[in-house]
Amino acid sequence: MHFLDQAKIFVRSGAGGPGAVSFRREKFIEYGGPDGGNGGKGGDIVFEAVAGLNTLIDFRYTQHFRAQRGQGGSGANRTGAGGEDLVIKVPVGTQILADDEERTLLVDLTRVGERVVFLRGGDGGRGNASYKTSTNRAPRQHGTGWPSDEAWLWLRLKLLADAGLVGLPNAGKSTFINQVTNAQAKVGAYAFTTTRPQLGVVRHKQREFVVADIPGLIAGAAEGAGIGDRFLGHIERCQVLLHLVDANDEDVAESYRIVRDELENYGAGLTDKRVIVALNKIDTLDDELIAALSAELEEASGAEVIPLSGAAGTGVDWVLDKLLEAIGPEPGAVSDDDEGEDAIEWSPV
């Protein structure tokens, strides 16, 4: 399946149906009277976040979405049928943005089953029965129904993951995610084997958490060098970053700084996240060189450095322990401090 994390779509709610102009013509009712029913309400445009989707590829082929309009009213005070709501299913983590210069954020769907009525369908028009008064016994006016709303929108997907992998191209990120998950990411002895984000579920110490692997960053990624930094949005929601540095690089400290500079240029609070630094591919080095490179990397990063080999499995459990510690308790776990506090439900305005 192709990966697509941005799409532009057009949405239109349903217009309200017109009210009816009708008069009773029944044999034993002497004066009859108006009996035109109201029109039906138009369908709403609803966005729903569902599980099992991790790409917006469907919106490349279907870009126009229109809800049904309401049907017209009829005689005998019969109200027209309402138009069906159009539910647009999107992956969890999808943002809905306005089609303007600033790409203003309108809705952020971050939970499975979260729904938001984005455009409301028009109300049905009034039938002539509703216009009857003591002085207007045979009204012939009726409402035509409220018009629909429409908009061009941008959908942007930011994958939901607990931990994100960052590093230069060929730093061993794909090998690591293949070692700890069933992601089956492409691995090769050349740069940019990863061209799109990958997700994998880690099972460690009776816990599960999601890891995201994004294409490698190079100097100037913020200006578009390499694959650029457009995929960094997929780790904005991560609680912790695992920064892998290739032990075979000429200067491991410089390799670390290049990636950190690109994260800082991107912004969005990525440099404020907790970072676990690992010296990867140590299976090709001796202990003395591993210690020297680790010390050099610790001085550059100011953090503890974990010697790691994603291919051989060395240090993998150590890294996973650190990730679990940074991620914290499982969602739904209640601590002593949280007892008695009421949960707050989010609802769209």
| pLDDT tens column, 270-281 | 888 888 899 988
Q: In 96-241, which ranges are continuous DSSP H helix?
A: 173-180
309 is in an annotated binding site: yes
Contact (CB, 8 A) for 128 and 19: yes
Is 98 annotated in a binding site? The answer is no
The verdict on whether residue 42 carries a ligand-binding annotation is no
Confirm whether residue 134 is marked as ligand binding.
no
Answer yes or no: is 213 a known binding residue.
Answer: yes
- Beta strands per DSSP E along 235-296: 240-246, 274-280
Q: What is the pLDDT of residue 194?
A: 56
- Answer yes or no: is 127 a known binding residue: no
Does 9 carry a binding-site annotation? no
- 215 is annotated as contributing to ligand binding: yes
Rounded (5°) CA angle 89-332-272: 80
Q: What is the CATH number of domain 163-327?
A: 3.40.50.300
Contacts of 277 (CB under 8 A, 6+ apart): 243, 245, 256, 297, 298, 301, 303, 304, 305, 306
Per residue in 47-92, pLDDT tens?
999 988 878 888 988 999 999 999 999 999 999 999 999 999 999 8
Q: 200: which strand partners?
A: 211
Could you tell me if 182 and 121 are in contact, meaning their C-beta atoms sit under 8 angstroms apart?
A: no
Q: What's the CATH number for 6-157?
A: 2.70.210.12
Query: Would you say 332 is a known binding-site residue?
Result: no
114 neighbors 106 (Cβ within 8 angstroms): no
Does the annotation flag 128 for ligand binding?
A: no
Residue 9: per-residue pLDDT: 95
Give pLDDT < 70 ranges for the chain: 1-3, 183-196, 220-230, 330-349
Residue 225 has a pLDDT of 61
User: Does the annotation place 310 within a ligand binding site?
Assistant: yes
| 174 annotated as a binding-site residue | yes
Q: Residue 167, annotated ligand binder?
A: yes
Q: Is 311 annotated as a binding residue?
A: yes
Q: What is the pLDDT of residue 64?
A: 96
What was the pLDDT predicted at 68?
96
Q: Annotated binding residue at 214?
A: yes
List where CATH 3.40.50.300 sits in the chain: 163-327
Measured CA to CA, the distance from residue 121 to residue 118 in angstroms comes to: 10
Cβ count within 10 A of residue 65:
18
The CA distance from 136 to 118, in Å, is 40
In the chain, which segments carry CATH 2.70.210.12? Answer: 6-157
pLDDT computed for residue 343 by the predictor: 37
Query: Does the annotation place 168 within a ligand binding site?
Result: yes
Q: Are 85 and 118 in contact (CB under 8 A)?
A: no
